[in-house]
Amino acid sequence: MGKPTKDEAARMDGIKHGPCIACHQRGIASWCPEVHHLLSGSRRIGHMATVGLCSWHHRAVIQWGCTGAEMRDHYGPSLNEGSKPFHAEFGSDAVLLGYQNELLKDLQ
């Protein structure tokens, strides 16, 4: 995959300044997300196949004195805790990528 091109870097910068796509789907105001690279098998597809997720949805980071169960109840499943429940709630990688691309258009 290598170092991002100028366009790839611009995409990832845009993602970092937008909402978490999972929080956005639930109507929750979110903070600066992390860039998640979508996979094919266990390999990253590329820098253009990226979506923004908050630290909860990406890595299951528990915050604000909540328990993991409270985080799941309010924010939904974390990708880190299992892709099946995450994708059942928020959509397949293709759906997430399409959703992210639409959000990036709205930010321009």
Architecture of the domain delimited by 8-107:
2-Layer Sandwich (3.30)
Can you give the residue ranges of every domain in the chain?
8-107
Instruction: Name the residue type at position 79.
Output: L
The three state secondary structure string of the chain is CCCCCHHHHHHHHHHHCCCCHHHHHCCCCCCCCEEEECEECCEECCCCCEEEECHHHHHCCCCCCCCHHHHHHHHCCCHHHCHHHHHHHHCCHHHHHHHHHHHHHHHC
What is the three-state SS of 70-86? HHHHHHCCCHHHCHHHH
In this prediction the pTM is 0.91
* Over residues 54-83, mean pLDDT: 96
pLDDT on residue 30: 86
Looking at residue 107, what is its pLDDT? 66
Average pLDDT over residues 85-96: 97
* pLDDT value of position 44: 86
